[in-house]
Structure 1
Amino acid sequence: MLKRTRKRPLLLTVIMVLLFVTACSSGSNNAEPEAPANTSNEQGEQPSAEASLVNASGFPIVNEPVKLDIVAGLPAGSHPDWNDVMLFNEYEKKTGIDVEWQMISTSVLNEQRNIILASGELPDVFYAAGIPDGDVMKYGQQGMFIPLNDLIDNYAPNIKKLLDENPDIRKGLTMPDGNIYSIPRVYDPAFTSVLINPKQWINTKWAETLDLKLPETTDEFYDYLKAIKEGDPNGNGKADEIPFGADGIGRLTKYLYGAWGLQNRGSRHAYVDVNPETDELRFFPTDTKYKEMLEYIHKLYSEELIDPDIFTVNSSELLARLGEDVYGVYNSWDPESWANIENFTGAPVLAGPHGDKLVVSNSPLTGLGHFVITNANKHPEATMRWIDYFFSDEGTEMFFMGFEGVTFKRNADGTTEFLDEIVKNPKGLSFDQAIAQYLVWPGGGMPGIVSQKYFRGGESLPLSVEAAKLLEPYVPEETWPPFSYTTEENTRMAAIDSDISTYIREMQAKFITGDVPFSEWETYVETIEKMGLAEYMEIYQAAYERYKNG
């Protein structure tokens, strides 16, 4: 039965703001929204007038029905309308909290979310709305997002436990003003396969045909790709094989960073790591090792060992080409659940020319802006209890596995597995399509804990788990979560980083393709320095010191 939809002014307000923005597009639209009247950081820490409605534990969460308006990002592959999905309909029965979901496609989410924030007509919650880390701090200080510190301590035992047991996650969530404004999406630190992702995959059929051993150094990797290009492993007498492919050059650089000891504090920090010789922060895109890596990739590219379309090919196009069996090696999502191919295995770690042999890992804290409570919310205590359940073992099982007897069965040893309705759907639906009839997690971006125990995406499959075991010994001991910046720092960093990042990406492509020779390297470095690199690193250093000191 369809859930009753209540008409609210939020969508109408968004439409009105859209019309206003369109009408004013010829003028300046860079002014930041003003803080709503009579708000402060302290306001969110005070018990609301509705706190007496909330039960301290158990279900229902509230003694009287409560309604919440939540704006949510809708990724491709998820259930199209969360107002009529089993997960949240059943959760409403448990909690007494009726959520009206306003779904916004992730393809237009950034624009729509910013319009809502500018309108001042806020929902009670933004959920999976892709709020940038800097905006979490900005709107928190403006009072639009309320601080959650006391709410976590008093109404979120599962989230509090997570933060107490993982100080780095707490530090990553805490803003320079001492407040936590958001609830995260977290990778279980023990779930190695999801922390090291995407991975590198090697075509075992072609390796066997050419009698090739898996490469373990960058020199061997070059020889391996060369053998595929020249060996006709598909046996059709044509040189139509593509030795290496990926949906973006960033996949390849991330894989090769470790062979030159770069990005050694994790992928959440695109350009800054630690110099192992000085133990100081390093901006590595101007380091000689980065230059050597680019020279190596240029060699692969110039000898046609890399897909010539690597700078433009998207994941859908890569997936289609994988089905045509043209790649000897590819870097993206797992071959079984994503690409439905079986003749690939995980690649080992590569040792570089200086003996570096590292794996670039993801931080357990994937980002900040997955769940925020706004100052329009009259039930923050109930809202915090609502989200906290999805950080419990029982709530995580419900979110990712669904409901016993409907989507999964429980084995005698306590483990769970999906029913044939999901994994062998009689209507021919894919796994994601089948599970999306009941749950919302396909597509990602939701707050909660992604654990191997309950998450059944590709990273949990045996092939991915085995591939991760090869890589795990080479993960650096320390992986940084995202750093936080003061409002002033964030404003300056955003401006400097935009220019520097754009230039780095442009020059990376030009160096690799040969459009710019490496004799221009010093000019490249000097240009970055003139863009404000010294100030960039000063801000980074300040954020790093705050992180180290908790």
Structure 2
Amino acid sequence: MRNKKKVISIIVALAMTAASLTACGSGGKGAESAPAAAEGTGNTTAASTEAESSATGSEESAADGYVGSGGTYTMYLRSTFVDWINDLEWYKEAEKRTGVTVEYQKGTSVENDVYTEVDQMVLSNTLTDSTMCKQDQANIYGAQGAFYDLKPLIDEYAPHIKAYLDANPDYESLVTNEDGSIYGLLVEGIQKGSFIFYRQDHFDKAGVDVSGIKTVDDFTEALRTLKAYYKDVPNYYPLNGRETPLRFQSLFNCNSNISAEESNGFYYNNVELGYDVHADGAYTMVETMKKWYDEGLINPEWIAGAFSEGDWEAAMWEGRGSISFDFYTRPAAFNLEGKNYDPDYNMAIMDFFNDTDGNPMKVQTDTRYNQKRATVINAKASEETAKTIIQFIDYFYSDEGQTLANWGVEGISYEEKDGQKEYIVSYDEELAKPDGEMEWSFLSDRFTICKPLDTTAFYSFNSEIVKDAALKLFTDEHLQYGINIIYSDEQSEELATLTASLKDSCDAGIIAFIRGTKELNEDNWKAFLDEMDAAGYTRMEELQLAAYQNTYND
């Protein structure tokens, strides 16, 4: 049984702000963090109208996977999400096929502020029929009677969601509260890793054959060759990056990890980039990175924390760097601008490495489900409205609904060849359309509606360089998948306090070894590990393990 959440302090805090209930912000369909002009939450918009009929031209008949009879409901969402939804051809087609109209109430454009607004609306009884909130909000307010228990609704009205829960017991365990209820359904997200990408034109000129890079040792030799070839280029370092340089743990088998039996390393709030200093490969990682640093193979400013994202981009565009290990869409982004600096500019993506025994090293991913995006139903909504909502969501768990949301309409956005779906719309052309213009877009990392994910479709709707590499490399063989965990309030509070200083201390200690300000040897490394354990490393692992076991009842 999971630990109970403490809610009294939350209710008191909300009561103090309820009288000043306000709402603001409305964003475009671009970057989620983009600021926007103030706009009241009373701005309600339907995602489809008679005048805005879909460009599909399909017949308005009942959808094969829809088990309802249409209807209308209201939903409060971040304004950015509403703008995205309103531009989607496939979403308008879904409303047309099901006869369901969602009247969206726009909230702020800042995601974290959305959750505060949900708090205020729940307390003031002004919440729409449905909304999206954090999972812990769903469980706290649901247990207090503010949200529907979705389990009876699913059992009676949503056969496709029920089938998904039956087929995914870990998901069912994750969304089931300690009282046995399901108060929110979580969005399934893409579990993607980072890519090692490189200037193919640099490699060709330096005589480096990328197909020969199988191990970290091979990689180091390639760095040396590049450094020697471009020795006359001022401030040239083959390996460059942004933010933390401690992102190579997957190349040395020292990722943080967790299971029912053990927790190793920084997992809380570090699923994608967490490392474990006690792993056998951790010392080798630091030793190798020190070698890169001493030989001028990695940018020393990056190691020192003095290299901004703009510095990194400039170095990679201007020829002062050849290799990076970063977000999976970055290679395509560099290529878009790179030709303006060098007509030969060609960023490519490298295969992941093997260890010395020939086994693939696994790159970390984020969690499968986004615990900040739980779809809930207001308990004050009528049962008929709740039925409309759950059956609309259920449609997207059917085969037809999944095809529509992930591929669109056959003959218009995709076609089938030899049993395989292929997009016939252009990724670049669709995403270049201005805000407010209808588009066939299938970016499943943007929130639209709670639905399963088709990873093949997601990666296929991308630039060619990213699509080909993702379909090849983002597989079970090469990925260590992040695991969703529910932390109690007590665990979250202690872990947040503990890791705030512990992670900084651990990072600083490793960087000191790499830069040589502290001598790297076995004795000093052991002393460093002992120091981290005494500072709370072991306690951190204990808390993470307990949370995992509570989440999955192990």
Fold in common (TM above 0.5)? yes
Alpha-carbon distance change, 150 to 510 in structure 1, aligned in 2, over 3 angstroms: farther
Q: What's the counterpart of residue 330 of structure 1?
A: 324
Report the AA paired with residue 241 of structure 2.
A
Q: CA deviation at 1:110?
A: 0.5
Q: For 1:57 and 1:323, locate their aligned partners in 2 and report how far apart those are by CA, in whole Å.
A: 50
Report the AA paired with residue 69 of structure 1.
M
1:202 to 198, 204, 228: 198
Q: What's the counterpart of residue 126 of structure 1?
A: 131
2:226 to 208, 225, 228: 228
Give the SS at the match of 1:358: coil
Report the AA paired with residue 263 of structure 1.
S
Q: For 1:543 and 1:182, locate their aligned partners in 2 and report how far apart those are by CA, in whole Å.
A: 19
Matched, 1:256 2:263: no
Q: For 2:89 and 2:18, locate their aligned partners in 1 and report how far apart those are by CA, in whole Å.
A: 28
Alpha-carbon distance change, 487 to 461 in structure 1, aligned in 2, over 3 angstroms: same
8 A Cα contact 1:68 1:97, kept in partner: no
Report the AA paired with residue 243 of structure 1.
P
Q: For 1:363 and 1:157, locate their aligned partners in 2 and report how far apart those are by CA, in whole Å.
A: 29
Matched, 1:380 2:386: yes
Q: What's the counterpart of residue 74 of structure 1?
A: 80
1:365 to 349, 368, 380: 368
Deviations 1:185-213 (A, max 9, x none): 335xxxxxx64522112333222222223
Alpha-carbon distance change, 435 to 518 in structure 1, aligned in 2, over 3 angstroms: farther
Matched, 1:169 2:171: yes
Q: For 1:246 and 1:458, locate their aligned partners in 2 and report how far apart those are by CA, in whole Å.
A: 26
8 A Cα contact 1:225 1:305, kept in partner: yes
Q: For 2:458 and 2:251, locate their aligned partners in 1 and report how far apart those are by CA, in whole Å.
A: 28
Q: Which runs of 5+ in 2 are unaligned?
A: 1-16, 24-61, 268-273, 337-344
Report the AA paired with residue 100 of structure 1.
E
Q: What's the counterpart of residue 389 of structure 1?
A: 395
Q: For 1:486 and 1:180, locate their aligned partners in 2 and report how far apart those are by CA, in whole Å.
A: 17
Matched, 1:213 2:209: yes
Q: For 2:397 and 2:282, locate their aligned partners in 1 and report how far apart those are by CA, in whole Å.
A: 40
8 A Cα contact 1:184 1:366, kept in partner: yes
Alpha-carbon distance change, 62 to 264 in structure 1, aligned in 2, over 3 angstroms: same
Q: For 1:486 and 1:177, locate their aligned partners in 2 and report how far apart those are by CA, in whole Å.
A: 15
Deviations 1:98-126 (A, max 9, x none): 323244566x2103422431452434333
Give the SS at the match of 1:454: helix
Alpha-carbon RMSD: 4.4
Matched, 1:245 2:240: yes
Q: For 1:136 and 1:90, locate their aligned partners in 2 and report how far apart those are by CA, in whole Å.
A: 29
Q: CA deviation at 1:229?
A: 2.0
Q: CA deviation at 1:336?
A: 6.4
Q: For 2:266 and 2:177, locate their aligned partners in 1 and report how far apart those are by CA, in whole Å.
A: 20
Deviations 1:154-203 (A, max 9, x none): 3333333233223333334344544443323335xxxxxx6452211233
Q: For 2:310 and 2:223, locate their aligned partners in 1 and report how far apart those are by CA, in whole Å.
A: 23
Deviations 1:446-505 (A, max 9, x none): 2333324432556684764456646757447x8452122344434444443444345445
Deviations 1:497-537 (A, max 9, x none): 44434544555555555566658756754554455445433
Alpha-carbon distance change, 440 to 197 in structure 1, aligned in 2, over 3 angstroms: same
Q: What's the counterpart of residue 297 of structure 1?
A: 289
Matched, 1:348 2:340: no
Matched, 1:444 2:459: no
Give aligned-pair identity as a percent: 21
Matched, 1:306 2:308: no
Matched, 1:61 2:68: yes
Deviations 1:359-384 (A, max 9, x none): 12436623223232143551333212
Deviations 1:250-301 (A, max 9, x none): 6x62x432423433559xx89358xxxxxxxx98235564344234324424
Report the AA paired with residue 104 of structure 2.
W
Count of residue correspondences: 469
Structure 1 residues 410-429: aligned runs within 5 Å: 410-411=415-416, 413=418, 415-419=420-424, 422-423=426-427, 425=429
Alpha-carbon distance change, 417 to 114 in structure 1, aligned in 2, over 3 angstroms: same
Q: For 1:511 and 1:472, locate their aligned partners in 2 and report how far apart those are by CA, in whole Å.
A: 34
Give the SS at the match of 1:327: coil
8 A Cα contact 1:124 1:375, kept in partner: yes
8 A Cα contact 1:182 1:368, kept in partner: no
Q: What's the counterpart of residue 16 of structure 1?
A: 20
Q: CA deviation at 1:392?
A: 2.8
Deviations 1:32-72 (A, max 9, x none): xxxxxxxxxxxxxxxxxxxxxxx999658346x42212213
Matched, 1:543 2:535: no
Structure 1 residues 528-539: aligned runs within 5 Å: 528-539=532-543
8 A Cα contact 1:294 1:511, kept in partner: yes
8 A Cα contact 1:143 1:375, kept in partner: no
Deviations 1:310-341 (A, max 9, x none): 75767677566555455322223246654446
Q: CA deviation at 1:231?
A: 0.7
Structure 1 residues 387-536: aligned runs within 5 Å: 387-404=393-410, 408-411=413-416, 413=418, 415-419=420-424, 422-423=426-427, 425=429, 430=431, 437-438=438-439, 441-442=442-443, 444-446=445-447, 447-456=450-459, 461=464, 464-466=467-469, 469=472, 472=475, 474-475=477-478, 479=481, 481-505=483-507, 507-508=509-510, 512-513=514-515, 525=529, 528-536=532-540
Q: For 1:531 and 1:175, locate their aligned partners in 2 and report how far apart those are by CA, in whole Å.
A: 33
Alpha-carbon distance change, 218 to 424 in structure 1, aligned in 2, over 3 angstroms: closer
8 A Cα contact 2:423 2:461, kept in partner: no
Q: Which runs of 5+ in 1 are unaligned?
A: 1-12, 20-54, 188-193, 274-281
Report the AA paired with residue 219 of structure 2.
F
Report the AA paired with residue 215 of structure 2.
T
Q: For 1:376 and 1:94, locate their aligned partners in 2 and report how far apart those are by CA, in whole Å.
A: 27
Q: For 2:543 and 2:157, locate their aligned partners in 1 and report how far apart those are by CA, in whole Å.
A: 35
Q: CA deviation at 1:389?
A: 2.1
State TM-score, norm by structure 2: 0.68
Alpha-carbon distance change, 140 to 352 in structure 1, aligned in 2, over 3 angstroms: farther
8 A Cα contact 2:88 2:439, kept in partner: yes
Structure 1 residues 264-303: aligned runs within 5 Å: 264=257, 271=265, 284-287=276-279, 289-303=281-295
Give the SS at the match of 2:162: helix
8 A Cα contact 1:83 1:100, kept in partner: no
Report the AA paired with residue 545 of structure 2.
Q
Alpha-carbon distance change, 525 to 409 in structure 1, aligned in 2, over 3 angstroms: closer
Alpha-carbon distance change, 480 to 405 in structure 1, aligned in 2, over 3 angstroms: closer
Q: For 2:410 and 2:423, locate their aligned partners in 1 and report how far apart those are by CA, in whole Å.
A: 9
Q: What's the counterpart of residue 149 of structure 1?
A: 151
Q: For 1:403 and 1:459, locate their aligned partners in 2 and report how far apart those are by CA, in whole Å.
A: 18
Alpha-carbon distance change, 204 to 388 in structure 1, aligned in 2, over 3 angstroms: same
Q: For 2:437 and 2:19, locate their aligned partners in 1 and report how far apart those are by CA, in whole Å.
A: 29
Q: For 1:499 and 1:437, locate their aligned partners in 2 and report how far apart those are by CA, in whole Å.
A: 47
